[in-house]
Structures are given as C-alpha cells and as structure tokens.
Chains A and B, each alone.
Chain A
Amino acid sequence: MKELKDSTKEAIAGYSFLTPNFVGFLVFTSIPVLASMALSFMKVDLISTPKVFQLVGLKNYQTMFGDVYFWKYCWNTIVLMAAIPFSIGGSLIMALALNQKLKGIVIFRTIYFLPTICSGVAIYVLWKFIYNSDFGVFNTLIGNFGQFFHIPLKGPNWLTDEAWAKPSLIIMSVWQTVGGYNMILYLAALQGVPRDLYEAAEIDGANSWQKFWAVTWPQISPTTFFIATMSVIGGFQAGFDSAYIMTGGGPNGSTTTIIYYIFKNFYDWGNMGYASAISWFLFLVILSITVLQWKVFGKQVHYY
C-alpha cells in the first residue's frame, strides 16, 4: 500500500478528533432541532396505545396565535425584561467604580459576583422567604418603620399579589445580574479605552461628566449593544426556575413566562406538538435578534 499523503492523514486526524463531539452534536442537537420542527406540525399523544403521531399542518400555530394565554405569557416575559435596563445601567456604574485604581478591587468584584454565581434553586428558595408577607425581610423592615412612627404599616403580599409579583421578580433579577457577567464585560471594555483619548479630552478642558459622554460611552457602545442583545435573548428564555420555585407561575398567571408555558404544555399536559410550536416561535424571535446583532456587528461579535 502506498504511503498516505500528508494532507489526507491530516484530514483523517481532523475527522477523528471531531467525531466524539460531532456524533453527540448530531444526536442531541441537529436532529432534535429538525424533529422539533416536525413535531410542531403534529398532534402527538403518547398516553394512548398505540401512540398517536398525526400531521395536522399549521393547526398548532393557529392555536397559538389564537391563544389568549400565550399572548399574556409573552407579555409577561417582556414586562419582566424591565429588569434589563436597570441591570445594565447598574453594571456600568459598578464597573466605572471598580475601574478606578483603588485597593481591594478584587474583593469587591468577587462579592458583586456572588449572586450570579449562586443563582439557582437555592437562591430562589431564599428570595421566596425574603418576600414572605408575614415574616420576610421587606415586610419586617416596613413594619418596624411603621412602628417607629406609630403608624400601622403593612407591606404588600409580594409574591401572591398580582400587582406586586412581577416587580418582585424584577427586583430580584436586578440584584442577581447587576454585578455579574455584564459588569466584567464592561470592566474589560473600560480597560480597553485608549488613554490618549482621555488626555486629549482633558486638554480640551472636559470635566469627568463630559469625558464620560464624549469618550467612554461611545468607546464602550459595542459592549453595551452586545450586552443588551444578549440580555434580551436571555430574557426571552428566562423565568423557569423562579416561576417553578417561587410562584408556580401565579398569581393568576402573572409570572408565567413563555418557557414556563412550554414546560407546562409539554411536561404537565402532554401537548408535545403545541409545546414544539411555541418553542419554534421563541426560536424565530431569538433568531431575528441574533441576525440584527450580526448585521450591526459582523460575525466578530462573539470574539470580543
């Protein structure tokens, strides 16, 4: 047998290194994506025997567009994204403060990151407790405040009052994300702003405020745009853990987000086809935001 050419050998090596990941990628990502599309055109019943897989065309999508609950939960998802501007603004302010040459920055950075690091079931259990209307932190403080001035003050029923449930989740979300990934990205961006731009601005007699708006803000705007689009993409998929642990999607469906509705349809009610249709709708929304991001940024966006 003739000796293989070097380029052939390299190609064989390339495919072999790729194989473990690629096979898993096909089985658990590529094929399921297509299967999910197919399911979204089907009525699926796994409980009766034999199992039913019946093509129904666009019926699931028609149901979705006529489903008042679906639209309500889309609205909920969007309202809960009110946390994003507060979180981004806060991240920037914190990054600006941390960017000063001060001692102990690493300690502060670590502390600010803790809520993001610990996010998950434990933190939602904790916040459910914090928001408890009888003995939670907020209502204890409000009650104490009232007692001090001899007024009978009672805080709201944070998680069980329809008017307060969303603001409660928004406050928690800001706490959770403000010192997290976005702050680190801002910090990196701030360190990348060329020093001579500030020096030029100083020569022109700019004060700190003017320097921020004339130099810093435009220089870090790609980061802001990146963070904003990533947050919106994340926002559309958010709300499962908190709804499951803290509110059960209530009161009166006011904290049910799209993803929680998909889970309910799929897992609790067995509507696989309908759940797939909603996931595809969600995917298309996210896709359009991503395309917008690419249009503005080119494919470089992830590379930073």
Chain B
Amino acid sequence: MEEQLDVQSLINEQKRKKFLQAFMLYLFLIAGAVTMLAPFLWMVTASLKQPGEVFSYLKPWWYDWIPTSFVWQNYVKVPQVVPFVRFYLNSIFVAVITTFGQVATSALSAYAFARLKFPGRDRIFFAYLATMMIPGVITMIPVFMLLQSLGWIDTYKAVILPPIFTAYGTFMLRQFFLTLPKDLEDAAKIDGCSYFGIFWRILLPLSKPALATLTTFTFMGNWMSFMWPLIVLNSHEKFTLPVGLAYFQSFHNTDWTLLMAGSLMMILPILLLFIFNQRYFVEGIKLSGIKG
C-alpha cells in the first residue's frame, strides 16, 4: 500500500515537472514572438495615425502600440503623393519575369547536370559551384558598363536580364533531381520518349515541391531586390517598389504615417506568400543549406 502511494506521488511529481517545463518553454517562445512582432505592430499603429500625432514627445507608452485613431486615408494618400501604383506594377512585372526566367533556365540546366552525360559536364558544374561564392559586387561594375554600352541603362531589360542566370537555382534543382528515382525515365526512354519529353512530362511534375520552393525563394528575393535596380534605373516611372520607397523616404522623410503605410503595402504580398508557402520554404532551406 505504501509503495503504491510512493509510485503515485512520483508520477504526480513528474507530471508537475513536465507541466512546469512546458509552461516555461511557452513563456520563452511567446516572449520571442512578441519581440519579433512588436516592430510590425508599431508599423501598423503608426500607419493609422494623424500626420502630427506621431511627433508628440513623451506620450504614454501604449500610444505607440494601440491605434487611437484609424486614418485609413493614409493608405489612399500614398499613391497620390508618389506614383505608388506604378511602382507596384513595375515590381510585379520585373519580379514575375525574373522569377520565371530564373526557374526555367535553372530547371533546364539542372536536368542536364543531373541526368545527361556529356563531355566536360562535371568541370562545368564545378565552375557553377565556384561562382556561387563570387560576391555580386564583383560583376556589378562590368555588367553595368556592358549595359551602358548597349544603351540599356534605364530599361527593364537591364533590371531583369542579369539576375536571371543564377548558379544557385541550377544547383538546388540538380540536388533535388538527383534524389528522384530513375525507373520512370528509363521506362519512358524505352518507349521512345525524347529528352525534352522526359524533362517536361516526368521530371517537372515530380519536382513540384522543389519548383515551388525555388519560385518562392526567388520571387521574394526579386521583390526585395534594391541595389541593382537602384543602379540601373533613373526615371521614376520605371522604379520598382524598393527603389521607389527609398526615393519617397528621401523626399518626404517627415511624412511618417504615409511612409509606414507604403512600407506595409510593400511587404504585404511577401508576407502572404510566405505564410501560404512556409512549408516549402523550410524544406528548401533544409534541402540546400543555403542562405537566400
């Protein structure tokens, strides 16, 4: 009887310990989440204030975090102060085409590297790998001069073309293709399927998760891309969102409410894309071990 009680109290003790541990963990995780989210909350609150409101020094602390006014008008005013809609459309155009180009050319070359035998293949692949460690800044100046001599500065071509050809996409998709079983392809080959047929009808459909990952990654990168568009674009009506927002903030750096509204509108598509695709995203990071 006594022994049984002992066991019971031991189990209770263990349960209590476990509960306490989970409680502490959640406390820690929530503290982390609050730290990560606070600046965003602040951004939302600021974007909804009256223009003069944010400036009041020594306001109560909660004033920054809980919206006291809802000036939705700020979101309407942004496109009136700068050609924000134009920037948005430019960004969509540039990001979609660049992403499509990156994924398409990467998939083609990844197939060649993963499945086809041709002289010099491994040497070329090694050269691809090696270029991944070349800082982008090295190629920036010669490419700029090349585009300048072609008369392409201040065109969409100049923004879109150079980033399309990435070693990273090729590398990542090759790694994924190598993990796929070859049986289906061999069977198709025996049935007389062409190489392109194998690529298009077998390999690509099997690679949907990897393609989704690469597309998500590259689209986000292109959407946020700042330095290159800044260098090659001059006229305002061609600016992408980041360049446009930078320009906006250099000329209207006191219109904080509008700046916050504009910034929020800029990150919104990325936020949604990430929330819906985050499973792919995590897999992609694990797959390649590479930081975007």
Chain A interface residues (CB < 8 Å from chain B): 7, 10-15, 17-18, 20-25, 27-33, 35-36, 39, 46, 94, 97-98, 100, 102, 106, 108-115, 117-123, 125-130, 134-135, 137, 140-141, 143-144, 147, 175, 179-182, 184-185, 188, 226, 230, 233-234, 236-237, 240-241, 244-245, 259, 262-263, 266-267, 272, 275-276, 279-280, 282-283, 286-287, 290, 299, 301-304
Contact = CB atoms under 8 A, between A and B. Distances in A.
A282 B135 contact: yes
Given A135-B55, A302-B289, A24 B105 contact: yes
A10 B36 contact: no
Given A11-B119, A13-B195, A181 B292 contact: yes
A28 B165 CA distance: 8
A121 B242 contact: yes
A181 B286 CA distance: 9
Interface residues of B, number: 104
B146 A32 contact: yes
Contacts, number: 279
B274 interface: yes
A25 B138 contact: no
A117 B36 contact: no
A143 B59 CA distance: 9
A89 to B, nearest CB: 13
B200 to A, nearest CB: 11
Given A129-B259, A303-B175, A122 B134 contact: no
B117 A117 contact: no
B35 A175 contact: yes
Contacts of A7: 117
Q: Decide if the interface of chain A is mainly helix, strand, loop or mixed.
A: helix
Given A140-B61, A286-B135, A304 B289 contact: yes
Most chain B CB atoms below 10 A, which of A13, A234, A276, A302: A13
A117 B271 CA distance: 7
Nearest to A145: B61
